[in-house]
Amino acid sequence: MKTNLYKVAITTVFATFFMVAGIKADGLTVSQQSPYESGYQEADVAEYFLTDVVAGVEQPFETIELRETAAVEQPLTHAVAGEAALDQPLEAVDLRETAAVEQPQRGSVTGTATDAETGAPVAYVTVVILELNRAGTGHEDGSFIVPNLAPGVYTLRVHRVGYAVQTRNVRVEAGQATRIDFKLRPSAFQSRAIEVTGRRINNGEVYTPEIRISGRELRQHLGRTLAETLQNEPGMAQSTMGPAPARPVLRGLSGDRLVLLEDGRTTGDVSTSAPDHAVTIDPINSQYIEILRGPSALIYTSNAMAGVVNVVRGQIPTELPEHFHGAASVQGETVNQGLSAGLATYTSRGNLGIRGDLGLRLASDIQTPEGSLDNTAIQSLHGGLGLSRIDHRGLLGFSANAFLSSYGIPGDFIGSHPNGVKINLQRYQADVRRDIDARAPWLRNIRLNYTFSYYFHEELEFSPQRQAFDIVGYQAELLTNTFTARFTHDELGLATRGTFGVYAQHQYNRPGGFTFTPLTNDLSLALFGYQDIRLGDWNLHAGLRADVMTIIPIEEVETAIGLRRQRTLANVSGGLQAMYPLSSRLSTSISLMRTVRMPGVEELFSEGPHLPAYSYETGNPDLNEEIGHGADWMLRFAAEHFGLQASVFYYTYSNYLYPRATGEESVRRPLPIYQFTGEPARLMGAEVLAEVDIFNGLRLTGTLSYVEGDLTRRNEPIPFIPPLTGKVDLKYTRGVYTVGSSARFASAQNRLGEFEEPTDGYRVFDAFAQAHFTHGTHMHTFSLTLENIADTTYRMHLSRVKAIMPEPGRNIKLLYRMYF
Amino acid sequence: MKRIASFFIPSIAALLLISACSSGHDHLDVNGFDVFLDNEIVVSQRGTTLTGNVSVNTGSTSPEMRVVFIDPDGAEMVITDSDYRLEVSSSNEDVLVANRTGLWTFTLQGISAGTAELSIGIMHGSHFDFESRPVPVSVVQTQQVSASN
């Protein structure tokens, strides 16, 4: 462990060196403009680049006045400036040039879009003139210009992901620039909107995530783990085995069925293989978290029925900030005497973008209303350094990061080890990324990524004789090489944008300890495509993916579970999502998916005790792919003061893979044998999200999620499916202050799988207060959260340790984050 | 194209290098054991079936007992590799303490009257290769160590 800390310390020193170098270089100007320098980025991401935003706050009116002058005195120049703001630049230029010569009596509309609560500019708003069906995109500083308008009254609609839509009438006078400013109200509901407008947002991605958590919402819900951070999202639950090894569950799907990514690449850990294996992502330094659903998820995986969770840290810089900036966070909580801290910094030197981050988390045993849950302390440390050379042709970037963690699994549940198990893990990763900006309509960008990851994990049992955790129960060593190449285009045939790509991965899997699972080499290859198509009022998203995977055990041998041999599997997945606006406020979408999940090494070949799961797991070398088919229907209503989104889904699996008790015990260790098997299965459910503005600043939000799953041939429930869950959130915002209260609730779960225990329903109340203050170019944010105010004893159905201890008791959590 | 090639080649080279790793890790395949006390089998396990039990006096230490492990063919295993050793432990050290006395021998020490479960295993380096079914042990006030099948 000391050696690993030493390695991280070196990484940190390097990061600090480059950051200091970056500070010295602050103020250097960039001579060449490239798409990466032009500042295309999501508004919420811009929180990390607050100095830019603050600068915008300080001088928005000067900017507008200059533009107004330009509009009056130099219409042609102004028109060219406006080109960048429009989605249809060629058409716009033609119109403007004609206007300048033949119709000088036209007018324009200028204005700004600012956050009604913070006053910060809202970057890249979409501005639509409804009567003309013309749309454009605002600037990073919140300003927008719509030039070349015939005199008259127009309906102007402004919208942006994360904000409620605003519509206002505007009168355009000949030869005049009419000023109109919008104060947009943030809206959690609106952030879930499916947007089809905008280019180069989302770090150059072609898709728009269905859910995106950032800014204030992320700060409020920031938890010890990614799963805890996401648990309040519709359809989301967390599967836990103590506080550290928690994994998100979406629509009852987890493990390999809910892919977790960091910066769009696999985590390179073994968190999918068992509930006690932690996810190697700490959310404290994340910029934002996005959830992809539908065909866009096929860019990353063939197995995305529920979706893909992508945590964006931005480890490889994609822009050249003008000065040194970043974010520093400190969070403390009482329920486990936990302290976590994070620092992420950005700077540039010439055309070299530099990013460094460091995170630390320390926590003692967690307290519950019934006492302390022993062996649940956490220690983790992560850090990374990223460098990018950015010019007008694209970027060449590199990043390296390390993640170290040590945590415990409680003992004494369902016959597990009486003293629990200690788990130590380490992950080291290096990434190389090459972006080539082709600047052709049929090929906008080529992106090449290579990631190397080394992961080590060991589970230590307690030795009563030596009074120490020194018996190795299980070890895992995983080397992963991943290569992706993506070709992104704008208009191409029927498609308005899209991407094609190839994915290749090699994994070397070396289990150790008390396990008879063989060493394997796994090779995966995939071709994928994703397209956005607009047909009249219909917006279509289509994805197609072909995967081939081969798993090669080091030696082919006949065992008690069958012949361990090379397995090669190939299949095709795909999806189609169609969205249609029924009216200006009501829209609907339907999504059809076919997913493929290849069986993993554990499912095929594992043989060994897994003490934290109290099982002796055996694979099944004859397993085939898990094929899923799903339909998802959504209805969305969005008015100025009320929003409602409802969705229902139905998934079927022809070969749902899961471990099933054989009724036998292992000879090698007295544990019940669970063998992986495939069964037809079905999952169905619904989610509702509603939001209403009661009066100015007071907002009520509610979510409700339900899913049930069955093994259809056996006519029995799938184990570990969450019950009906929901949340009601009342929030009042005035200026820079926000206060609120929420109630989380769940019904009892009596639909039980094999060997499952029922769980009672619960209601838990939380409260929170947030504030942010700007001082010069710094913004200070405070987030105080009181969880489980009443110290209620409750148990979550997906907790594996619920039999011995309930969920955490009353907790006071304070987060301070400074953007500089 | 040259740039792309310069990116690909190191990646593929790294991939091939890693693919070359193939070292294995062997385990003993154990199907049971016999515990001998004065050349008499006092406890035996075959597959998942355990027979026999042990009792020991309070305040005294049993004679040395020897463990012989059995492979799936029913043959006695001769384990000479020094990476392997016997591991014995008691579920309740307030009642019974188990002590390894040699490579494959151990004694039991009665602490107080009651029952405890004895675990007999093979350690391979820092991990188990085999762990027995819990062997019931009674700690009684009698003077003799007795055994029965």
Give a yes or no: residue A225 inside a domain.
yes
CB contact under 8 A, B131 and A669: yes
CB contact under 8 A, A521 and B23: no
What 3 state SS string does A316-333 have?
A: CCCCCCCCCEEEEEEEEE
What's the rounded Cα separation, in Å, for the pair A349 and A18?
9
Least confident of A31-45, A540-554, B104-118: A31-45
Identify all chain A residues contacting B133, using CB atoms and an 8 Å cutoff. 670
| pLDDT at residue A22 tops 70 | no
Non-local (6+) Cβ contacts of A340 within 8 A are: A224, A282, A284, A329, A330, A331, A332, A359, A360, A361, A362, A363
Least confident of A26-30, A620-624, A766-770, A772-776: A26-30
Find, among A391, A393, A402, A384, the residue nearest to A346 by Cα.
A384
| pLDDT at residue A101 tops 80 | no
What's the rounded Cα separation, in Å, for the pair A664 and A673?
6
| pLDDT at residue A73 tops 50 | no
Pick the residue of A470, A477, A481 with the most B CBs within 10 A to test the interface with B by mutation. Answer: A481
Output B22 or A798, whichever has higher pLDDT: A798
Closest Cα in chain B to A512? B25
Position A544 confidence tier, pLDDT thresholds 50, 70, 90: very high
CB contact under 8 A, B129 and A506: no
Please identify which residue in the block is written with the tokens 């991965």.
A505
pTM for the whole structure:
0.76
pLDDT tens for residues A399-426? 999 999 999 988 766 555 667 889 999 9
pLDDT tens for residues A280-297? 998 888 888 999 989 999
Amino acid at position A645, single letter: Q
Give a yes or no: residue A49 inside a domain.
no
Pick the residue of A461, A514, A522 with the most B CBs within 10 A to test the interface with B by mutation. Answer: A514
Identify all chain B residues contacting A510, using CB atoms and an 8 Å cutoff. 21, 23, 25
| pLDDT at residue A501 tops 90 | yes
CA dist A713 → A204, A430, A457, A595, A627 (Å) = 45, 45, 37, 20, 16
Greatest Cα pair distance in chain A? 95
Q: In what order do the strands lie in the sheet with A166-172?
A: A134-137, A126-129, A152-159, A166-172
Non-local (6+) Cβ contacts of B82 within 8 A are: none
| pLDDT at residue A26 tops 50 | no
pLDDT tens for residues A458-483? 989 888 777 888 888 888 899 999 99
Closest Cα in chain A to B129? A514
Give a yes or no: residue A29 inside a domain.
no
User: Of A154, A185, A216, which residue is a domain's last?
Assistant: A185
% of chain A with per-residue pLDDT over 70: 82
**Residue ranges of chain A whose CB lies within 8 Å of a chain B CB:** 432, 434, 448, 450, 452, 463-465, 470-473, 475, 479, 481, 483, 506, 508, 510, 512-514, 516, 519, 521, 554-555, 664-670
CA dist B57 → A304, A572, B64, B85, B135 (Å) = 62, 68, 14, 27, 17
**Which residue from B19, B127, B130 is facing A472, i.e. has the nearest CB?**
B127
Convert A29-41 to b/e letters by CB count within 10 Å (16 or more is b): eeeeebbbbebbb
**Residue ranges of chain B whose CB lies within 8 Å of a chain A CB:** 3-4, 7, 11, 14-15, 18-19, 21-25, 27, 30-32, 47-48, 89-90, 93, 123, 125-134
Are both A206 and A172 inside the same structural domain?
A: no
- Please tell me the distance in Å from A274's CA to the nearest CA on chain B: 19
CB contact under 8 A, B24 and A506: no
CB contact under 8 A, A464 and B133: no
| pLDDT at residue A154 tops 60 | yes
- Please tell me the distance in Å from A279's CA to the nearest CA on chain B: 24
The per-residue pLDDT for A19 is 39
| pLDDT at residue B144 tops 80 | no
Return the SS3 of A148.
strand
Cα angle at A411 between A405 and A417, to 5 degrees?
Answer: 105
Dihedral angle of Cα A268, A269, A273, A279, to the nearest 10 degrees: -120
Find, among A228, A190, A226, the residue nearest to A210 by Cα.
A190
Tokens linked to B111? 């602490």
Amino acid at position B17, single letter: L
| pLDDT at residue B97 tops 70 | yes
What's the rounded Cα separation, in Å, for the pair A790 and A762?
12
User: Of A157, A185, A213, which residue is a domain's last?
Assistant: A185
Identify all chain B residues contacting A667, using CB atoms and an 8 Å cutoff. 30-32, 47-48
Q: Which residues pair with B35 in a beta bridge?
A: B43, B67
Output A427 or B126, whichever has higher pLDDT: A427
The per-residue pLDDT for A174 is 86
Segment A422-438 shows an average pLDDT of: 93
**Which residue from A506, A514, A668 is facing B18, i.e. has the nearest CB?**
A506
| pLDDT at residue A746 tops 60 | yes
DSSP per-residue string spanning A527-595: EEEEEEEEETTEEEEEEEEEEEEEEEESS-EEETTEEE--EEEEEEEEEEEEEEESSSSEEEEEEEEEE
| pLDDT at residue A172 tops 80 | yes
Position A256 confidence tier, pLDDT thresholds 50, 70, 90: confident
The per-residue pLDDT for A304 is 84
Least confident of A25-34, A150-159, A364-373, B79-88: A25-34
Q: Which residues pair with A174 in a beta bridge?
A: none
Amino acid at position A309, single letter: V
CB A461 within 8 A of CB A421: yes
**Which residue from B22, B89, B90 is facing A554, i.e. has the nearest CB?**
B22
Are both A135 and A219 inside the same structural domain?
A: no
| pLDDT at residue B38 tops 60 | yes
The per-residue pLDDT for A177 is 87
The per-residue pLDDT for B66 is 94
- Please tell me the distance in Å from B140's CA to the nearest CA on chain A: 23
Segment A339-347 shows an average pLDDT of: 93
Are both A255 and A147 inside the same structural domain?
A: no
Output A440 or A528, whichever has higher pLDDT: A528
Segment A551-562 shows an average pLDDT of: 87
What's the rounded Cα separation, in Å, for the pair A651 and A631?
6
CB contact under 8 A, A668 and B131: yes
Yes or no: domain B25-148 corresponds to CATH 1.20.1440.230? no
**Which residue from B22, B47, B127 is facing A513, i.e. has the nearest CB?**
B127
Identify all chain A residues contacting B23, using CB atoms and an 8 Å cutoff. 510, 519
CB contact under 8 A, B90 and A464: yes
Are both A531 and A585 inside the same structural domain?
A: yes
The per-residue pLDDT for A272 is 84
Instruction: Out of A13-22, A85-94, A200-209, give the one with best mean pLDDT.
Output: A200-209
Output A369 or A560, whichever has higher pLDDT: A369
DSSP per-residue string spanning chain B: -HHHHHHHHHHHHHHHHHHT-----------EEEEEETTEEEEEEETTEEEEEEEEEBT-BPPPEEEEEE-TTSPBP----TTEEEEEEES-TTTEEEEE-SSSEEEEEE-SSEEEEEEEEEEETTEEEEEPPPEEEEEES-SS--EE-
Which CATH number covers residue A509?
Answer: 2.40.170.20
| pLDDT at residue A604 tops 60 | yes
Residues in chain B: 149
The per-residue pLDDT for A167 is 84
Segment A767-795 shows an average pLDDT of: 90
Are both A149 and A293 inside the same structural domain?
A: no
| pLDDT at residue A306 tops 90 | no
Find, among A685, A680, A618, A742, the residue nearest to A236 by Cα.
A685
Are both A222 and A166 inside the same structural domain?
A: no
**Which residue from A471, A481, A665 is facing B48, i.e. has the nearest CB?**
A665
Are both A132 and A218 inside the same structural domain?
A: no
Closest Cα in chain A to B88? A465
The per-residue pLDDT for A668 is 86
Give a yes or no: residue A285 inside a domain.
yes
Are both A174 and A234 inside the same structural domain?
A: no
The per-residue pLDDT for A712 is 95
Position A562 confidence tier, pLDDT thresholds 50, 70, 90: confident
| pLDDT at residue A74 tops 90 | no
Give a yes or no: residue A23 inside a domain.
no
Give a yes or no: residue A483 inside a domain.
yes
Output B19 or A319, whichever has higher pLDDT: A319
Tokens linked to B45? 């396990």
| pLDDT at residue A13 tops 60 | no
Position A197 confidence tier, pLDDT thresholds 50, 70, 90: very low
What's the rounded Cα separation, in Å, for the pair A706 and A689?
12
Identify all chain A residues contacting B123, using CB atoms and an 8 Å cutoff. 471
Residues in chain A: 820
Domain residue limits at A315: 201-819
Give a yes or no: residue A669 inside a domain.
yes
| pLDDT at residue A161 tops 60 | yes
Closest Cα in chain A to B69? A668
Return the SS3 of A448.
strand
- Please tell me the distance in Å from B104's CA to the nearest CA on chain A: 17
Identify all chain B residues contacting A521, using CB atoms and an 8 Å cutoff. 19
Identify all chain A residues contacting B127, using CB atoms and an 8 Å cutoff. 471-473, 475, 512-514
Q: Which residues pair with A386 in a beta bridge?
A: A355, A399
% of chain A with per-residue pLDDT over 90: 43
Which CATH number covers residue A126?
Answer: 2.60.40.1120
Tokens linked to A279? 């996810």
Least confident of A26-30, A185-189, A352-356, A723-727: A26-30
Are both A430 and A511 inside the same structural domain?
A: yes
Closest Cα in chain B to A463? B89
Report CA torsion sign: A476, A479, A485, A488.
Answer: positive
Q: How many domains does chain A have?
A: 2
| pLDDT at residue A1 tops 50 | no
What is the residue extent of each domain of chain B? 25-148
Return the SS3 of A377.
coil
Position A734 confidence tier, pLDDT thresholds 50, 70, 90: confident
Are both A100 and A219 inside the same structural domain?
A: no
Q: Where are the beta strands (DSSP E) in A73-181?
A: 107-115, 126-129, 134-137, 143-149, 152-159, 166-172, 177-179
Are both A125 and A206 inside the same structural domain?
A: no
Segment A614-635 shows an average pLDDT of: 92
Identify all chain B residues contacting A516, using CB atoms and an 8 Å cutoff. 27
| pLDDT at residue B137 tops 90 | yes
Give a yes or no: residue A343 inside a domain.
yes
Average pLDDT, chain A: 81
Are both A274 and A375 inside the same structural domain?
A: yes
Identify all chain B residues contacting A475, using CB atoms and an 8 Å cutoff. 127
- Please tell me the distance in Å from A804's CA to the nearest CA on chain B: 19
The per-residue pLDDT for A631 is 96
Report which DSSP code applies to A221. H
- Please tell me the distance in Å from A64's CA to the nearest CA on chain B: 44
**Which residue from B11, B27, B123 is facing A450, i.e. has the nearest CB?**
B11
The per-residue pLDDT for A687 is 95
What's the rounded Cα separation, in Å, for the pair A544 and A673?
38
Tokens linked to A436? 């080539």
What's the rounded Cα separation, in Å, for the pair A359 and A342?
4
Segment A78-83 shows an average pLDDT of: 31
- Please tell me the distance in Å from A408's CA to the nearest CA on chain B: 18
CB contact under 8 A, B48 and A472: no
